[in-house]
Amino acid sequence: MTSDQRVPSTPLAIRDFQLYWLARFAAVLATMGMVVIIGYQVYDVARADYGMSVREAAFQLGLLGAVQFIPLALLTPVAGWVADRFERRTVARFANAVDMSVALALGWFTWADQLTLPLLFTLAALHGVARVFVGPSMAAIAPNIVPPELLPKAIALSSIAWQSASVAGPAIGGFLYAADAPLPYWTSAGLMAFAMLALTPIRRIVPPAMARDVHPFRQMIDGLTYVRRHRFLFGAITLDLFAVLLGGATAMLPVFARDILQVGTEGLGLLRAAPAIGAALVAGWFAWRPLRHNVGIKMLLAVGAFGLMTIVFGLSKTMWLSMAALALLGAADMLSVYVRSSLVQLHTPDLMRGRVSAVSGLAISASNELGELQSGVAAAILGPVGAVVFGGAAAIGIAGAWSYLFPELRRARTFDPPEELLAPPNKEKPA
């Protein structure tokens, strides 16, 4: 959209963004409904079929995170390059098709009562493969269908899609599983099919041409190199990586639901939904009133609040306090994610956006999946409560350390992009 065209007051006035929003909502609803059941099935199969203790089964949840992270770690440079090389809608649709196949397989094996830990780990790894290609391609679509001045609002609205789906997905998945075990997987497959259809009418999004004299492998690595050489991006991305890596409590939710709070799959769905409720409220507020001032210091304070609420959740013995702590945790995380996502998108040139989004996605996935591994190992040593409390304290420490190590983060006042990005480059240069 050129500068002389009238800019809508909201991204929702743009048809392509409407379709993008619906696709994102459906895909995340499907994924979150799937993930919560996979985690519960791993823990339940480990306890019921393999006779493992609470700590041993909790460690299996850590391994579940690891097997989802391995394909992410290996394929992230490839996924970012693909998002910057090929038509981005096509990449996103293909990845959703792979994830739909995983949902169908999980549904069939659940229906046939043939679940084993190796099978669950294998399908979880394939789910990780699909996610690694969905993330960069979807992230790179939004900045191309809305004008730059609406991008912070678009990110907030996109976050509402993600968070509201994250609210509904686990709760719906838990209740569907209680009604009929394979039903959440059939539902997820249908939602992913809808997401693919919603992406189809969006106008073609062809990335800027890459330099033909640069080897594809170098182009893949350029995303990592670009982030490493730009301290602002590096600090923003690694803040999320280490804070959530050490402070994540979601991996232990099946343990808390089954053996500490004793609320079953329905309660697990509510616990998984609680952080997203808080996050959705914050995202809705920012979609109405975008954050404009002192964005950096607010991001750092939000990470500290995230760690504090993690500690409260770990020490809680009642369902209402646990849900309240998780909701506040999600609200703090949403503030941090909103600021970080806006800064990363607006501080990255379009020709690098897919690859930088892939690096950012790797950091997010590493924080989630490796965070599950860390939580599983910590739970085996400290117990599930000790693991969560330790992680929350570590997240607070990370916020303080990054404020010192990356002063440019706390000095960030607005979302305004650097002046050098306002003029498009003539040719891609290796970072």
243 within 8 A of 308, measured Cβ to Cβ: no
Alpha carbon distance 367, 383 (integer Å) = 20
Q: Which band of pLDDT confidence, cut at 50, 70 and 90, is reported for residue 426?
A: very low
Q: Is the pLDDT of residue 410 over 60?
A: yes
Q: Highest mean pLDDT range out of 4-13, 135-144, 386-395?
A: 386-395
Please give the domain boundaries of the chain with CATH numbers for all domains.
11-201+216-417 (1.20.1250.20)
Residue type for position 107 = G
pLDDT at residue number 430: 39
Q: Is the pLDDT of residue 286 over 90?
A: no
Alpha carbon distance 141, 205 (integer Å) = 7
What is the mean pLDDT of the segment spanning 9-23? 88
Tens digit of each residue's pLDDT (9 = 90 or more) over 360-371? 766 766 666 667
pLDDT at residue number 214: 52
Q: Which band of pLDDT confidence, cut at 50, 70 and 90, is reported for residue 210?
A: low
Alpha carbon distance 335, 217 (integer Å) = 35
Q: What is the mean pLDDT of the chain?
A: 80
Tens digit of each residue's pLDDT (9 = 90 or more) over 104-152? 999 999 999 898 999 999 999 999 888 888 877 887 787 788 887 787 7
Alpha carbon distance 290, 187 (integer Å) = 34
pLDDT at residue number 190: 95
Angle, helices 117-145 vs 350-365, to 10°: value is: 150
Sequence-distant (6+) residues with CB within 8 A of 208 are 84, 350, 351, 428
pLDDT at residue number 424: 47
Q: Is the pLDDT of residue 74 over 50?
A: yes
Structure tokens at 197: 């259809």
pLDDT at residue number 19: 93
DSSP letter (8 states) at residue 329? H
Chain mean position to CA 424: 29
Residue 5 vs residue 332, higher pLDDT: 332
Instruction: Give the sign of the dihedral formed by CA 75, CA 80, CA 82, CA 87.
Output: positive
Q: Is the pLDDT of residue 330 over 80?
A: yes
Structure tokens at 424: 């498009």
pLDDT at residue number 35: 83
Q: Is the pLDDT of residue 186 over 90?
A: yes
Structure tokens at 210: 């890459």
Q: Which band of pLDDT confidence, cut at 50, 70 and 90, is reported for residue 66?
A: confident
Tens digit of each residue's pLDDT (9 = 90 or more) over 221-236? 676 777 778 787 888 8
pLDDT at residue number 218: 61
Question: Residue for token digits 């990470």?
Answer: 303
Alpha carbon distance 170, 58 (integer Å) = 19
DSSP letter (8 states) at residue 366? I
pLDDT at residue number 108: 95
Q: Is the pLDDT of residue 79 over 50?
A: yes
pLDDT at residue number 237: 82
Q: Highest mean pLDDT range out of 244-248, 295-299, 390-394?
A: 390-394
